[in-house]
Structure formats: C-alpha cells, structure tokens
C-alpha cells in the first residue's frame, strides 16, 4: 500500500473504501441499493481499529457475500479520492460509538481508497444477503465501466471517473 495521509485525519472527511469488482471480461459489478432506485459499487466506512485492506475485505463480505479467497486484488488508487455529501444528506449523520449506541458526527463528505478486485469464482459466489441482517443491495449485474460513470448519483460521479480512470489499465481484456 502507498503512504496515505492518516486514515483518521481531522479533515472533515469520513474514511471509506470503495470496491470495484470485475469479471474476466472486464465488466464491473453494479448493485442496486435496497429499497432505493440508486445503483453503485460496494463501499463502506473504515473502523478505528482497521487497516484499509481489512476494511475492504469486511465490506466485500458484508455487501456481496464474497470472501478474500474468491477475489484477487488487482490494484488500488494511489491517493484518497474525496467527495462532499449534499447538504440534505449531512443532516442527522450518526455513527456507532465504540462504547455502544450512536453519536452525532460532523463531516462534510467521504474520502475513499478504491480497490479493483477480480472475481475468481463464477457469479453464483455472490450472495447479497450473506453478510448482514439488513442487506445493502437487492440486485446486481455486470456492466461496462462507462455505464457506472453515467449512472452514479451526481455527487459521486467525479470520484467514480477518477477511480476508474486510474484503475482501468488493470481491468482484464474482454475475451473475443
């Protein structure tokens, strides 16, 4: 891993990992948020006691049911990629307290290290209900990277574009 600024720097951004899963044809995993119309890549916060790779594998399992042995890390972004949350999403932000319960937090957005993973199994390895009592996603599909950029919510688009631009060189070549 590259040397990143401290994970928990007091910079107003919540540390997060983003996960781009690809298949052997270079298509990317695209999932629909449960009870919403929005589609996105898996992502999630980093806990205080975790490194970035550990957080990525935890989020991978929670959101897709995939285990570390079922994927191969192809690459990751060299720097944090930041996005600001729209003001309407900043209200009532809460986080789990290590002592139990939830506390109000103040942040303006997220900073993410993005990982590109290649799925080593067939599609049946994906299990959206395996990791959590309340799944994050209810449907998924393989799409072209352009589809992901064109269809992500506006406030995340520049981060998706930067992550895919940096990592696309590591995508497998589509089989003929």
Strand intervals (E) in the chain: 13-22, 28-33, 39-40, 43-45, 71-76, 81-84, 94-96, 102-104, 109-119, 137-143
Enter the CATH code of domain 14-170.
Answer: 3.90.79.10
Q: Which residues contact 47 (CB under 8 A, 6 or more apart)?
A: 55
Mean per-residue pLDDT over the chain, rounded: 89
Q: What is the pTM of this model?
A: 0.88
Q: Give the pair of three-digit tokens for residue 64.
A: 């897709």
Strand intervals (E) in 50-90: 71-76, 81-84
Q: Distance between CA atoms of 82 and 130, rounded to whole angstroms?
A: 29
Per-residue confidence of the chain (176 residues) as pLDDT tens digits? 556 667 888 889 999 999 999 999 999 999 999 988 899 999 999 999 899 999 999 999 999 999 999 999 999 999 999 999 998 877 555 555 455 555 555 789 999 999 999 999 999 999 999 866 889 999 999 999 999 999 999 999 999 999 999 999 999 987 65
**Residue 106 pairs with which residues in a beta bridge?**
none
Q: What is the pLDDT of residue 89?
A: 76
Angle at 172 between CA 166 and CA 175, to 5 degrees: 145
Domain limits of the chain? 14-170
């Amino acid at each position: 891993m590259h040397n990143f600024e401290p994970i928990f720097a007091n910079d107003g951004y919540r540390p997060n990992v983003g996960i781009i899963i690809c298949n052997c044809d270079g298509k990317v995993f695209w999932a629909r948020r449960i009870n919403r119309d929005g589609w996105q890549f898996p992502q999630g916060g980093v806990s205080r006691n975790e490194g970035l790779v550990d957080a990525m594998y935890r989020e991978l399992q929670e959101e897709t049911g995939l285990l570390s042995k079922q994927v191969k890390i192809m690459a990751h972004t060299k720097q944090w990629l930041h996005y600001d949350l729209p003001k309407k999403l900043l209200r009532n932000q809460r986080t789990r307290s290590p002592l139990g319960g939830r506390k109000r937090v103040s942040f303006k957005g997220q900073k993410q290290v993005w990982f590109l993973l290649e799925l080593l199994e067939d599609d049946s390895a994906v299990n959206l209900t395996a990791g959590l009592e309340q799944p994050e996603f209810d449907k998924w599909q393989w799409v072209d990277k352009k589809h992901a950029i064109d269809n992500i919510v506006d406030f995340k688009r520049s981060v998706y574009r930067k992550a895919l631009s940096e990592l696309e060189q590591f995508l497998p070549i589509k089989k003929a």
